[in-house]
Structure 1
């Protein structure tokens, strides 16, 4: 019974020995003198700007989550298409099922779009209806005679 685990054991031992040898070689052969140039982060050949501990704007994470959401949608559409091809009796039900699925995702996408998740520019300042022009600090035309 345990004989079937011997190939796995051999692979594990070989991998462990290989990694250990590579780490030992790097330690003994490699240079140990750090210089400021070696400590600099690599930026694809460009001069680094700012510190490496900067924060990413939250919009990057929002775009990543949206990408994952719609990427997972495609993962669910593929099996549906395969089943749809083979099941001729339930095609109407399967089509209605995927139509509801896509409609829910479309409503979510429209909601995200209207909330401005895809806008990379700074939001525009909205002036309330009752506000006077001179109350706004961004007014384009200076008012003549206003004190």
Structure 2
């Protein structure tokens, strides 16, 4: 049994050395300029520091969050179809969908959905 433990320790040590060597070999030493810059922030932080924040980007981000939350609310509605009263479910889902449609119409009329200025 003592011999088996020694063999196991040797094998584990060899594996550890191999893994450390692989990590050192595969490590990237050259930093890529594109990968070190932030993305999806609406402006280039490497240029002038006091540029105004893009409200167009902000509105697009808010609309994305709203639609993301809509999906989170709509998904369980289909799961509760069998456990709730049909009239209550229809009334709740219809009113929720109508609120979403009215909000989408409001965003459309105010020009928030235009991707270009």
State whether TM-score is above 0.5.
yes
More helix by proportion, 1 or 2? 2
Among 78, 88, 93, the alignment partner of 1:98 is: 93
Q: Deviations over 1:74-123 (max 9, x none)?
A: 11111111111x22x6112201211101101110111111100112333x
- Matches of 1:83 and 1:57 in 2, distance apart? 41
Q: Deviations over 1:17-58 (max 9, x none)?
A: xxxxxxxxxxxxxxxxxxxxx8xx93359xx9x716344411
Following TM superposition, the consecutive aligned residue runs of length 4 or more in structure 1 with deviations greater than 4 angstroms are: none
Listed as ranges, the gaps of 5+ residues in structure 1 are 1-37, 123-147
Establish whether residue 43 from structure 1 lines up as the match of residue 34 from structure 2: yes
Pairing 1:89-128 to 2, within 5 Å after superposition: 90-122=85-117
Q: What is the TM-score normalised by the length of structure 1?
A: 0.45
Larger radius of gyration: 1
**What's 2:12 paired with?**
none
**What's 2:54 paired with?**
57
**What's 1:78 paired with?**
75
Q: How many residues align?
A: 80
**What's 1:28 paired with?**
none
**RMSD between aligned alpha carbons?**
3.1
- Matches of 2:74 and 2:115 in 1, distance apart? 30
